[in-house]
Amino acid sequence: MNDNSDATTGSYRLDDQVGFILRRANQRHLALFARDIPDLTPTQFAALAKLCELGQASQNALGRATAMDAATIKGVIDRLRKRGLVAARRDADDARRVHLSPTDQGQQLYAALLPRAREISAETLAPLAPQEAAVFLQLLEKLAGE
């Protein structure tokens, strides 16, 4: 019973806690992204990518698909619209909804950035051997839930 990872016993070192390491891993990824794709934030790219995948979506639906709450997705879409990458119009069937779709420019940018996005994913996983990366992604997916 010397297990330091026990939930109620043993020492607590910040550097060994999942949350802390998760935050650092995320930081490293964000830094790689900012270096390779300086013109778009990871969040903005996620929204654009998902919208291109789906073709269209309501604002909140896109938020759910990209794990952003209503307040967050609004700011992200505002910025993408300001840059002409996303078009918005009131939904005809449902007056509450904002119907979103990527503009031509948005689709072109997405296509142009795809290789670099793949690169970023590879670079992020670079410290792991290929099989390790596969295992890691499976476990990480479990951890993320939903």
Residues that bind a copy of itself (CB under 8 A): 5-8, 12-14, 16-30, 33, 42, 46, 49-50, 53, 66-67, 114-115, 117-122, 124-125, 127-128, 132-137, 139-146
| Three-state DSSP state, 100 | strand
- The reply on whether position 21 binds DNA by CB under 7 A is no
Which residues inside 56-75 make contact with DNA, applying CB under 7 A? 58-61, 67-72, 74-75
Q: What mask of x and - would describe binding to DNA in positions 77 to 106, judged by CB under 7 A?
A: --x-----------x-xxxxxx--------
Q: Where are the alpha helices (DSSP H) in 55-103?
A: 59-65, 70-82
Strand order in the sheet with 86-90: 57-58, 98-102, 86-90
Exactly one of 29, 36, 37, 41 binds DNA (CB under 7 A); that residue is 41
For position 14 contacting DNA by CB under 7 A, the verdict is: no
At 7, is the secondary structure helix, strand, or coil?
A: coil
Give the span between the Cα atoms of 140 and 94, in whole angstroms: 37
E-strand spans in 1-146? 57-58, 86-90, 98-102
Site of interaction with DNA (CB under 7 A): 23, 27, 30-31, 34, 41-44, 58-61, 67-72, 74-76, 79, 91, 93-98
